[in-house]
Amino acid sequence: MGLDKGFGSTQFSSEMKIYLDGKFVDDSEAKVSVFDHGLLYGDGVFEGIRLYGGNIFRLDEHLERLEYSAKAILLKLPHTRQEMSELTCETCRQNGLTDAYIRLVVTRGVGDLGLAPWLCPKPSMFIIASKISLYPKEHYDNGLSIVTVPTRRINPAALPPTVKSLNYLNNILGKIEARQFGALEAIMLNDQGYIAECTADNVFIVHKGEIVTPAASQGALKGITRSSIFDIGRELGVVVREADMTRYDVWCADECFLTGSGAEVIPVVKLDGREIGTGQPGPITQQVLASFRRRVLVEGTRI
């Protein structure tokens, strides 16, 4: 199976309706200006959100993170949280979807050439709701084989990883390298050599009955799915904690799994050709995945 059939592609319909700056338009009419600073400079923020069985998983938490990201870059959102919640739900309803991947984007808006954000008088917001192709089922059953890539995560002191901005070039370079190494996903280290996260997912290991994940201070995004693992740990009676992690910790772990809005919870059985644990998805990972799949239907907002 080629890598093109792996996670990351959305399936677009010619009938798709997209919310764009106050109205719903056909996808063919959904356009932004070439002078939009989101396009010119990656100046904007976004959220990737999931709809399961008519339930938008942890929508309020996603919108809160969007607000924090916008506040951090001094970007004034065009709508209140309640308005954005309703617009997100309506986008799903307009497209007749009960299961979908939602992309909510706010850009700095149209402005002059040049970096000055104060020359952009009005932000732009659009919402896309469509189906998404996840990792193939066989990888949930048998686990992923991932690699470590040379591209390092940006130092949190330079760009806080908690800001989910439109500039994903760092992650894209890591994703390109993963493909070059024949993998669907890859671990990215920070400038000190500690594990930060994967190109699109958070990293967890299981060691001696505990679940461990890198701290945000090491360059990890505070993922919404990531935060749910702490709740699941309490449900299962398993300690979940943050710690500095190196590749050694993954090599010697009993289990490893990744989390993300797209990936959900997916086991990892190899890193850089080294088997992790038994080389098969472990029992705690399987319990976490089962609990997560129950939660997505009830934790969130009904459309």
pLDDT in tens, 112-135: 999 999 999 999 999 999 987 778
Residue type, 218: Q
pLDDT band, very low/low/confident/very high, at 14 (cuts 50, 70, 90): low
Specify the pLDDT at position 15. Answer: 81
Residue 11 has pLDDT above 60, yes or no: no
Mean of pLDDT over the chain: 94
**pTM for the model:** 0.92
Superfamily of domain 137-302, CATH level 4:
D-amino Acid Aminotransferase, subunit A, domain 2 (3.20.10.10)
Look up tokens 């976490």; give the residue: 288
Buried b (16+ CB within 10 A) or exposed e, 16-40: bbbbbeeebbebeebebeeebbbbb
Q: Percent of the chain scored above 90 by pLDDT?
A: 90
Domain ranges across the chain:
3-133, 137-302
Residue 209 DSSP symbol: T
> Could you give the residue numbers annotated as active site?
164
Residue 217 has pLDDT above 50, yes or no: yes
Look up tokens 């969130």; give the residue: 300
- In words, the CATH class of domain 3-133 is alpha beta
Q: State mean pLDDT over 172-199.
A: 97
CA 167/CA 171 separation, integer angstroms:
9
* Residue 5 tokens, joined: 């059939």
Specify the pLDDT at position 261. Answer: 94
Positive/negative CA dihedral, 65, 243, 186, 230: negative
pLDDT band, very low/low/confident/very high, at 5 (cuts 50, 70, 90): very low
